[in-house]
């Protein structure tokens, strides 16, 4: 069995199984052992941990995880990779491979079945075409997840950790920071993958809060307001919300809530931090209900 995590061993396995890369699945396999060690170290994996890996590919990172964790659950969509994983992971009896789409699987049910509902750590070199739906799906499932340590496109990592006043600040920044504390732990060049991606990458660790850092009356309303604010980010917040018919908020109601909180009525959503969005939404929902 060749050692994975380097170009030679990876190419040998790919040739042995006549594997064809599927662009539609975002397949860029890691071939750098330093980066693999760095990911597992940054994720803080110990012998007591259960790890959920999304997209194990040919099992390169899975091998590192299996050596550090108590057990690994690996969810891979590409059926062609399953016989390869059976081969590369045959030395490990603590890995379960599941041939499923991570966006369709019941994550709470999976963790209940495989880890008695106890918190897992998610570790992955994510398929870039669905980074945001995967991360939001993990948070919104409210599954017991202690942390998420993932390789993503460099710009996406940047978007997750910035605050107001930067061009990268947006709905993803606010959503991630509502659920977790983000920290970029490594920058990774295209040469660390086969095939080379067309963009730079970064590893980001998201530590899940036990309780969100802000208090909101209605979480769904907060996210609907944030989405509407950034759908038309160059417009004023009051206009963006008034234009988002599905919200059921008028421009006048939004302006009244802004004035009540001492904000300029012409302020844009991109100027508000998470805590300000939370206060605004609480005030706005009371305004709509006619309580104020
Ligand atoms: N972990 C491997 C590595 O680091 O070498 C492969 C990472 S590759 C960037 C992404 C992997 O995710 C691929 O194996 C791909 O087939 C898989 N994948 C893509 N979409 C998926 C989905 N919806 N559910 C589960 N796995 C998926």
Each residue's pLDDT tens digit, 99-148: 999 999 999 999 999 999 999 999 999 999 999 999 999 999 999 999 99
The pLDDT value given to residue 292:
54
Report the C-alpha gap between 13 and 240 in whole angstroms: 52
Query: Which residue, 122, 128, 176, is CA-closest to 152?
Result: 128
Report the C-alpha gap between 244 and 251 in whole angstroms: 10
Any atom of ligand 1 within 6 Å of the Cβ of 125: yes
| Host H or E run for residue 111 | helix 107-115
Any atom of ligand 1 within 6 Å of the Cβ of 59: no
Three-state DSSP state, 187: strand
Report the C-alpha gap between 216 and 100 in whole angstroms: 35
- Residue 124 Cα: closest atom of ligand 1: 1
| Host H or E run for residue 192 | none
Any atom of ligand 1 within 6 Å of the Cβ of 242: no
Compute, in angstroms, the gap from residue 29 CA to the centroid of ligand 1.
Answer: 8
- Residue 56 Cα: closest atom of ligand 1: 1
Query: Which residue, 156, 154, 204, is CA-closest to 182?
Result: 204
Mean pLDDT in order along the chain per 10 residues (292 residues): 88 97 97 98 98 98 98 98 98 98 98 98 97 95 97 98 94 96 98 97 97 95 96 94 94 97 96 97 92 58
- Residue 62 Cα: closest atom of ligand 1: 1
Q: Whose CA is nearest to atom 18 of ligand 1?
A: 55
Any atom of ligand 1 within 6 Å of the Cβ of 75: yes
Q: Please tell me the pTM assigned to this model.
A: 0.94
The pLDDT value given to residue 190:
98
- Residue 31 Cα: closest atom of ligand 1: 5
The pLDDT value given to residue 233:
86
């Amino acid at each position: 069995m060749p050692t994975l995590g380097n170009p030679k061993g990876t190419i040998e396995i790919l040739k042995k199984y006549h594997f064809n890369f599927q662009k539609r699945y975002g397949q860029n396999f890691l071939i750098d052992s330093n980066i693999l060690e760095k990911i597992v170290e940054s994720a803080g994996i110990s012998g007591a941990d259960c790890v959920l890996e999304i997209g194990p590919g040919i099992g390169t990172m899975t091998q590192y995880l299996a050596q550090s964790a108590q057990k690994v659950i690996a969810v891979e969509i590409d059926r062609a990779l399953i016989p390869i994983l059976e081969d590369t992971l045959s030395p490990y009896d603590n890995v379960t491979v599941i041939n499923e789409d991570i966006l369709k699987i019941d994550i709470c049910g999976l963790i209940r079945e495989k880890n008695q509902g106890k918190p897992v750590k998610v570790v992955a070199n994510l398929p870039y075409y669905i980074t945001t739906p995967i991360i939001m799906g993990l948070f919104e499932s409210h599954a017991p997840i202690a942390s998420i340590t993932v390789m993503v496109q460099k710009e996406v990592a940047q978007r997750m950790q910035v605050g107001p006043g930067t061009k990268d600040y947006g709905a993803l920044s606010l959503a991630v920071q509502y659920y977790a504390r983000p920290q970029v732990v490594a920058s990774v060049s295209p040469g660390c993958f086969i095939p080379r991606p067309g963009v730079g990458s970064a590893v980001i660790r998201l530590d899940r809060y036990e309780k969100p850092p802000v208090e909101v009356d209605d979480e769904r309303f907060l996210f609907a307001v944030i989405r509407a604010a950034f759908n038309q980010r160059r417009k004023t917040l009051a206009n963006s919300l008034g234009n988002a018919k599905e919200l059921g908020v008028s421009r006048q109601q939004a302006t009244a809530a802004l004035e009540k909180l001492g904000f300029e009525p012409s302020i844009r959503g991109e100027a508000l931090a998470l805590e300000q969005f939370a206060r605004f939404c609480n005030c706005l929902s009371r305004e709509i209900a006619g309580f104020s």
